[in-house]
Structure 1
C-alpha cells in the first residue's frame, strides 16, 4: 500500500484530520506528524523513508523538511492550507477532499 505522510506544525489539527480521511482506505496508508518541537508526533527520517508521498500543509513545512531530512526521490506536495482550522473542521475536510481527490 502506498504511504502518504501528512505534515503540519504541531500535528494537532490539519495533518491528523488528513490522516483520518484515509483510515481503512483500500489503497493508501496514511500517517501524520509535525515539524515543531511541540508537535504531538514529531516527523523523523524513518517516517520520511516510509512515505511514498509527503504532503505538507504549507510551504514553510517543505522548507523545514528540506533542511532537516534526506528527501531524495520523495515526492513533496504543498497543499497550501493555512493554520486556521480545528481538528475535523468541516471546511478543512472539504478542502482536503478537493485537494486529495487523486488519492481518495
Structure 2
C-alpha cells in the first residue's frame, strides 16, 4: 500500500487531522521515529493522527529519510516513540541537546512490515495506547 500524501509539505494525509482543530483542547504531542520514515513511523502517524487529544508527527533518523528529523520536531514533542533500541541510541547521539529530559519509548518493532500492514497496526495500537493521555472532556 502506498503512503498517502497531503498538500502539507512533508506530511501524510492523516497528519493534517490535528490541524483542523488546534485549539479545541490541549493536545498531547507524539513523535514517531524510525530509520527512513517510509513504513513504520508513517504507519504510526496514520494510526494515531485522528485520536482525540493527540497531535502526531513522524520522521526518520537517517539522512536519506523521507522526512529527516528536525530539532523543531523534538522541541514540539511531549513523547517520542522509537521503533528500535538502535534508534534511541542514534537519537541520543545526534540530538541529545534537544531531548531535554523528554520521554523516549522504545517500541521494539522490527523493520519487517509494510506500510499499514494490519499486524503492524495492531502492534502499534497495543504498544502505544498505554502511554497516551485520555482525551479531555469537551465542554
TM-score range for the pair, normalised by the shorter chain length: over 0.9
The equivalences for 1:47-86 within 5 A come to 47-69=73-95, 70=97, 71-86=99-114
| Whole-Å separation in 2 of the counterparts to 1:23 and 1:66 | 25
| Whole-Å separation in 2 of the counterparts to 1:36 and 1:86 | 18
Runs of 4+ in structure 1 deviating by more than 4 angstroms, as ranges, are none
Q: Which runs of 5+ in 1 are unaligned?
A: none
Q: What SS is found at the alignment partner of 2:129?
A: coil
Asked whether 1:27 is paired with 2:53, we answer yes
Report the TM-score when normalising by structure 1: 0.95
Count of residue correspondences: 104
Q: Which runs of 5+ in 2 are unaligned?
A: 1-26, 135-139
Report the TM-score when normalising by structure 2: 0.72
Which structure has more RCO (C-alpha within 8 Å, separation ≥ 6)? 1
| Whole-Å separation in 1 of the counterparts to 2:47 and 2:30 | 11
Larger deviation, residues 18-27 vs 4-13: 18-27
Which deviations, in whole Å up to 9, do the C-alpha atoms of 1:23-62 show, x marking residues without a partner? 2221111100000111000001111000000000001111
